Structure 1
């Protein structure tokens, strides 16, 4: 979801810029049937600044609503919806996900927040102002990532599909298969909808992808290897969390990461 420009300007004055220190790793091999024209561009994030993040947070969703930063965290019995101070990473408000659900991706819809659950078969609708659950609606399949694309929601479920939902009822309205170089791409995790495109973390990798939801094709790959140097190849402390600030600037973090990074992602024209 797009964030107003004031969020970008405000964040930009918070901390000193840091140089990007991202190591390179080759992208996955492409199939012999793909053409050079069909292969997505591979880019690196340009690190602009670093801010603190709660290192106990199993981050599932990250999203700006104006200057306010919301985070959804996971683990059954420990999941929360949180409002964060983006300057310090401090938790301003928090509320536990009901019924010990395993919370997943979140997205803001006007005065509500939708939260997915992993395998509990429901999505939880929250009152954004009071951080109280309003209702639960049934969802088929697993819940992973969630974002708002104008008049619809887009959900990932761990498969190679993005599923579309009505933002008022959460009824499923369609889906699309995601492919990279003509091959299905699975384990799409946290999502961020920006200007008609969908950014997605790929679970247990240092890779983000940008997807055209009209076709399901990946058109850009972000190699974020080494974004947080302390990750050290951990299978748990992985990249997961994308919040659009403005233009080509984003806030990225990961599960149990002690830092959030303001970065510039510049896909080719």
Structure 2
């Protein structure tokens, strides 16, 4: 209950702060919407030259993209730790974090929240409804629950990977370009894995499992029975990777010795 209370208080203060600058909030929302529109236009351009992509039609690819946006929005809202190394290790703010009686990762996540990114989930759901209507998809009564479980699993996959990357800062405080590179690799999860060769498919499934953020869980709702096994693994993979990330983080915190000079 203590952590739930702290979570609520942080969110309350964040909302108060953001509402002081409403214009900035609207601009950020519009820029995010434009970025998503560009990615959608790219898909439409690709299908302007072909009817199928490795057996997937245009509406299915659009559906996958819409699904991908939902867990990605959760990740972007609560795991905005791309600058962890520079801000918390190099500049020494980790020292402040460790003086408080609350888990360090929980504090970092709450301090770096960007709740306006949740608007991306609304866009993603709208895209899914559009594509689903075009595909004439039907839902069972339990599908909304499965959707929530798979979205959380996909967000935990993203969160786990990037928490582990941030934890590298406990061992090497030099700036690296690995975070931007990983963001780019994560975009591969927007598209069906069978359009890639076997090596990339293996990496996106078991090493950097970004496929569990978009294509695998989407395959269930699209009725792609050959991918059902992977789809139902989504929450398991998410939990495993996030627990591994917490272990790596805690190990790094024990190694941390302060900013020094």
When normalised by structure 2's length, the TM-score is 0.23
> Structure 1 or 2: larger helix share?
2
Determine which structure has greater relative contact order: mean sequence separation of CA pairs < 8 Å that are 6+ residues apart, divided by chain length. 2
Q: What TM-score comes out, normalization by structure 1 length?
A: 0.22
Between structure 1 and structure 2, the one with the greater Rg is 2
